[in-house]
Amino acid sequence: MRALPDELEFDALLGPLRDCWGIEVAAANYAPVGGGSYHWIVADHGGRRHFVTVDDLDNKGWFGGTREAAFDGLLTAFDTACALREHGLEFVVAPLRTRAGAPLTRVSPRYTLSVFPFVDGKAGQFGEYTASERAAVVPLVAALHQAPVTARRLDLALPLREALAAVDRPWGSGPLAEQARGLLVQHTALVADLLALYDRLGAGVAPDGWVVTHGEPHAGNLIESRLLVDWDTVALAPPERDLWMPVDDDPEAASRYTRETSRQLDPAALDFFRLRWDLADLASFTTTLRSPHTDNADTRKACEGLAIILSRDR
């Protein structure tokens, strides 16, 4: 996130960092990276660095419509990431458990705090792969899909139809709400068609054989082609959820995955999750702009993202 969190000062994190993780903060620098969470690089008095993350429960709509549902979902997701790491999957950059054994703590009704080991390395580009990154991510995903670890089951529903049904009346949620509504009004037929296609493809997705998936194993979450970060989307789902991007236009990547897992990928499921990527972003941006918000770098980015998705050639 580019903007700092509303209603939360960094000083409010000092006590939880000390009490829950034993971290006495000597220095902290805000890291405006990624999307959906707030990050600081924190050094303790011994010079050890930590990657400190604050999550906004109002911005975790895929877990449910309330802060309590979002907290429970995030807690389960981070517990799963810890379990994967503890099971021996060393490429999983999981949160550090608190002294009480939890993967996060709540610092206010709206915000949670988690601490990750600081990884000194460079991530790739969001939504893209170099040839070497594509070759590296497939065996990581294959190992993940074979892990005997439990996770929440992915909800395939998307919170988008409610917004589409409300475009005929003004949105008073913030300074960019009407701009967002206008974009959806302009493209109502397109969104309705995409949702209908989503339903048709989703009807063919197998209800069993689901595995633990990362959800977003693109190169932006791949550090030095060996570590995967950003585990708040981890869930049981069809394996194609993680594979549509790595195997896109690369039959050898699909063959390698099949050799390592003995699983054949379903082309229709790959299409379903390729479409879901755009619709999930569309739902996320719309939810942000229909909710109370201010005009800042993150909400402007949400509005720009909405326009880009709706104008994309299909």
Whether residues 232 and 135 fall in one domain: yes
Measured between alpha carbons, how far is 21 from 303 in angstroms, rounded to an integer?
Answer: 37
The per-residue pLDDT for 35 is 72
Whether residues 280 and 245 fall in one domain: yes
Measured between alpha carbons, how far is 51 from 31 in angstroms, rounded to an integer?
Answer: 9
46 CB contacts (<8 Å, ≥6 apart)? Answer: none
Measured between alpha carbons, how far is 226 from 220 in angstroms, rounded to an integer?
Answer: 12
Whether residues 112 and 135 fall in one domain: no
Domain end residue (candidates: 73, 94, 117): 117
Whether residues 298 and 172 fall in one domain: yes
Domain end residue (candidates: 69, 86, 117): 117
Two tokens at 90? 């060393």
Q: Is residue 14 part of a domain?
A: yes
Whether residues 136 and 275 fall in one domain: yes
- Characterize 53-82 residue by residue with b for buried, 16 or more Cβ atoms within 10 angstroms of its Cβ, and e for exposed: bbbbbbbbbbbbeebeebbebbbbbbbbbb
The per-residue pLDDT for 12 is 97
Find the domain containing 35 and state its range: 10-117
Q: Is residue 1 part of a domain?
A: no
Whether residues 166 and 281 fall in one domain: yes
Q: What is the pTM of this model?
A: 0.93
Q: Is residue 126 part of a domain?
A: no
Low-confidence ranges of the chain (pLDDT < 50): none
Q: Is residue 15 part of a domain?
A: yes
The per-residue pLDDT for 184 is 96
Whether residues 106 and 157 fall in one domain: no
Please report, for the domain that includes residue 206, its CATH number: 3.90.1200
Whether residues 95 and 192 fall in one domain: no
Domain end residue (candidates: 54, 85, 117): 117
Whether residues 112 and 160 fall in one domain: no
Q: Is residue 122 part of a domain?
A: no
The per-residue pLDDT for 2 is 66
Whether residues 164 and 257 fall in one domain: yes
Whether residues 187 and 291 fall in one domain: yes
Q: Is residue 105 part of a domain?
A: yes
Helix axes 131-145, 251-261, angle to 10 degrees: 30
Q: Is residue 252 part of a domain?
A: yes
The per-residue pLDDT for 5 is 86
Two tokens at 247? 């195997």
Whether residues 81 and 177 fall in one domain: no
Q: What is the dihedral of CA 53, 19, 48, 27, to 10 degrees?
A: 70
Domain count, the chain: 2
Burial of 96 (0-12, 13-18, 19+ CB in 10 A): middle
Q: Is residue 3 part of a domain?
A: no
The per-residue pLDDT for 1 is 62
The per-residue pLDDT for 148 is 95
Please report, for the domain that includes residue 53, its CATH number: 3.30.200.20
